[in-house]
């Protein structure tokens, strides 16, 4: 957890962000240097929230940012964007081979806004790349009774078995979540 003494620089950064002018953006970029990589995500997301970053700003920071900066943008989405306008950022992150971006992309924003088709493919990506499904927000709710996801998971398992490859550890967990809810 980030404390005031961990990063005294943060007060200046948050004050600048609160002004709403683009002068805060260099703080966003420098967060890892000033507060350390362990706190960079938290510092960057706090800056984005303090600035009330709009989708256009988030998109620019994402596309011009490092992987760490992109991850912070993705983590901040649920607090900053209520509609689907930031979905292209989530979709871009899910196309990458960076598992930290994929995990960040599958937070609460994706749980709310990804289409069922895109969400199912994101779950398969997690299984294929080793992203723990614990990173997927709303997994149990979205997977419940999803027969199409169950079919896709069974197909994935059959392909891996036929190729002599081990099954992902989380596959059986997700498959169990797709079972229809019991009626009372």
The answer to whether the beta carbons of residues 157 and 167 sit under 8 Å apart is yes
The answer to whether the beta carbons of residues 111 and 138 sit under 8 Å apart is yes
At 58 the pLDDT is 97
pTM above 0.85, yes or no: yes
pLDDT digit string, tens, across residues 13-30: 777 777 766 788 888 899
User: Residue 149: what are its φ and ψ, rounded to 5°?
Assistant: -65, -40
Query: Could you tell me the pLDDT band of residue 4, with boundaries at 50, 70 and 90?
Result: low
The answer to whether the beta carbons of residues 44 and 31 sit under 8 Å apart is yes
Given a cut of 90, whether residue 182 has pLDDT beyond it is no
At 14 the pLDDT is 73
At 180 the pLDDT is 79
Alpha helices (H) along 19-86: 25-35, 37-51, 55-64, 67-80
At 3 the pLDDT is 58
pLDDT digit string, tens, across residues 62-119: 999 999 999 999 999 999 999 999 999 999 999 999 999 999 999 999 999 999 999 9
Query: What is the percentage of the chain residues whose pLDDT exceeds 70?
Result: 92
């Amino acid at each position: 957890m980030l404390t005031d003494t961990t990063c005294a620089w943060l007060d200046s950064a948050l004050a600048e962000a609160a002004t709403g002018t683009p002068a805060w953006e260099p703080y966003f970029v420098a967060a890892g240097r000033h507060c350390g990589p362990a706190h960079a995500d938290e510092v960057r997301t706090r800056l984005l929230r303090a600035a009330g970053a709009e989708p256009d700003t988030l998109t620019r920071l994402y596309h011009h940012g490092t992987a760490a900066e992109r991850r912070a943008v993705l983590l901040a989405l649920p607090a900053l964007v209520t509609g689907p306008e930031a979905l292209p950022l989530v979709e871009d992150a899910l196309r990458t081979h960076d598992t930290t971006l994929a995990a960040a992309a599958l937070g609460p924003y994706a749980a709310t806004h990804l289409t069922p088709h895109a969400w199912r493919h994101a779950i398969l990506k997690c299984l294929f790349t080793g992203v723990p499904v614990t990173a997927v927000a709303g997994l149990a709710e979205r997977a419940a009774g999803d027969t199409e996801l169950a079919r896709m998971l069974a197909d994935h398992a059959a392909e891996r078995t036929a190729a002599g490859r081990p099954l992902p550890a989380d596959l059986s967990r997700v498959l169990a979540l797709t079972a229809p809810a019991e009626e009372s």
